[in-house]
Structure 1
Amino acid sequence: MKDRSEILGGLITGAYLAGVATLVFWKRTTIPELELNEIGDFLAGVFGPVAFLWLVLGYLQQGRELKLSSEALQLQAQELKNSVEQQKELVDITRLQVESEMNRLRSIQERREKDIMPELFARVDGTVRIGQQCFLELYIGNDGATIFKVSIDFGGDLSYLNIVIPEWPKGKFQQFAIKFDLDDPAVEETVTIAYKDADHNTKVAYFDIRRVDIPGESDLPQFEAQSRVK
């Protein structure tokens, strides 16, 4: 559909040319007598207003087109902004979903680690003195999940007590008789227990065995076993 300015320009141009044609008709007898420069001036005078009219109309039309183009660009910019906001919302939703899934997996992993975790303990269950030597009864047990390929290493002078256990289920314990010299007031040994859990992860536990005599309470040396993190 043509713009109203084009229709108006066409009507004005048509009316104007009709008027020029009428003028030429009335002056048809004198036109042949005109010189070439006069004819050029006549044509310039006739078509100059028409050209100026369409120049103005073209300028107005261009302004309207620029306005429409600007509005279209603004609309595109708004749509792009809306799209960016939607993408941001999608990213936030995805991030929350990922965090939720990670928390769920972490919770599952923590429950799994708890389910397959042993509860190793060590305790001294009495001391016997024979001359200048004493023997203490050490119990090492497991009150938790079954572990495998267990290596109990006393190290140093007690290495003869080292053992390897293929499988150590809940409720089982090992008993050791450890000999110390009565004259040694600073007895301290470390028992290292390396094992694999049900998921084949290698873990290590440590127990310190030390002399803790309490003056006046007993003639026999006293010992304790404590777990520690190395």
Structure 2
Amino acid sequence: MKHLFTPNRFAVVITAVWVIGAGIALSRVTPDEMPTKLNEWGDFMAGVFAPIAFVWLVTAVWIQSAELREQRTELQLTREEFVHQREVMKAQADEARKQAEYIGTQTRILEDEEKRRKWADLDDLFRAEVNKLVGLIWLHESPFNFTHEGAHVINVSAPDSVEDFEFVARIAAQLTSQYAGNGVAKINTPITMNNPDRFDIVVAAVKSCQAKERQASPVMQVRAAALRLAEIVEYAELLKARASQRKPDD
């Protein structure tokens, strides 16, 4: 019914009814009643077509009103579509941000895992150097063996049944305590290095441990501080310098 009853059809029906009615009314007019003057004919035609013009004017306004209503509806739909698109774009932006955060998190996890693997490998290398140092000290008995006027001033012995890190720490403790306790620094005459080859091999191994310690993880470096590698090298160089003062014919 909505599509059958349109403004145009309404105007056509009213116009047709009016014209037919006017024709019927005109057919019943006697010749004496017919207009004879031009102005009378003008009034007659105005009376006939004025209502038709009014109907079509109303129809035009009606049509424009309907079109404006449809335009408002379309604008409202367009506005709602824009709002929907904005919400979709916002949701997509949120999803993109979440994806970026997820990728960033995964990247950090992978980087941390790679860093942990790297630290683990470097820590293993450091442990291997410490094990090598312990083995060299066991292999070369008493590498830190110095005498002065026939008496031992430094004679570091390898501790038994301890973990490798504690083993090296005890070596450092013995070397430090003997150097200070036996007053080596106060001896004015040269001291004798009894095992120079063993001494150089072990000190080189200690320095190699130091190099690997600097590459190890921060956690391992904290643990490695207890080995006192720097003290071993320091006192070894002091002892070597004192021993090197000995004359070749001594």
Q: TM-score, normalised by structure 1?
A: 0.53
Partner of 2:147: none
Q: Please give the alpha-carbon distance, in whole angstroms, between the structure 2 residues aligned to 1:28 and 1:108.
A: 109
Q: Could you tell me which amino acid in structure 1 is paired with residue 79 of structure 2?
A: A
In structure 2, do the counterparts of structure 1 residues 130 and 49 end up closer, same or farther at CA, with 3 Å as the change threshold?
same
Residues 115/33 of structure 1: CA separation in 2 closer, same or farther (3 Å cut): closer
Match of 1:131 in 2: 186
Q: What residue identity is the alignment partner of 1:142?
A: K
Aligned length: 152
Question: C-alpha separation between the residues in 2 aligned to 1:144 and 1:179?
Answer: 23
User: What secondary structure sits across from 2:13 in the alignment?
Assistant: helix
> Closer, same or farther in 2 for the Cα pair 1:179/1:12, shift >3 Å?
same
Q: 2:117 aligns with which of 97, 115, 118?
A: 115
Residue 41 (structure 1) aligns with: 43
User: CA 1:108–1:33 in structure 2 vs 1: closer, same or farther (change >3 Å)?
Assistant: closer
* Whole-Å separation in 2 of the counterparts to 1:93 and 1:106: 20
Alignment partners' CA distance in 1, 2:42 and 2:96: 77
| Partner secondary structure for residue 34 of structure 1 | coil
Match of residue 142 from structure 1: 212
SS of residue in 1 equivalent to 2:50: helix
Where is the helix percentage greater, Structure 1 or Structure 2? 2
- Which residue type is aligned with residue 131 of structure 1? K
Q: How does 1:176-195 map to 2 (within 5 A)?
A: 176=233, 177-179=236-238
In the superposition, the TM-score normalised over structure 2's length comes to: 0.49
- 1:19 matched to which residue of 2? 21
CA distance in 2 between counterparts of 1:15 and 1:31 reads 23
- The 1:43/1:132 distance shift into structure 2, 3 A limit, reads farther
| Greater relative CO, 1 or 2 (CA 8 Å, sep 6+) | 2
Amino acid of the residue matched to residue 186 of structure 2? G
Is the 2:35–2:41 contact (alpha carbons within 8 Å) kept by the matching residues of 1?
no
Q: C-alpha distance in 1, partners of 2:32/2:13?
A: 29
- What SS does structure 2 have at the residue aligned with 1:116? helix
Shift of 1:51: 0.7
Which residue identity lines up with residue 25 of structure 2 in the other structure?
L
Whether 1:77 and 2:79 are equivalent positions in the alignment is: yes
Instruction: State whether residues 8 and 59 of structure 2, in contact with CA within 8 Å, keep that contact through their aligned partners in structure 1.
Output: yes
Q: In structure 2, what residue type is equivalent to 1:76? A: T
Contact 1:116–1:145 (Cα < 8 Å) also in 2: no
What is the CA-CA distance between 1:60 and the residue it aligns to? 1.9
Q: Tell me the residue number matched to 2:143.
A: none
**Structure 1 residues 106 and 28, CA, compared in 2 at 3 Å: closer, same or farther?**
farther
Identity %: 23
Cα distance between partner residues in 2 of 1:33 and 1:78: 62
CA-atom RMSD in angstroms: 3.8
Secondary structure of 2:45 counterpart: helix
Gaps of 5+ in 1: 147-172, 181-230
More strand by share: 1
Show structure 2 runs of 5+ residues with no match: 131-167, 189-202, 217-228, 240-250
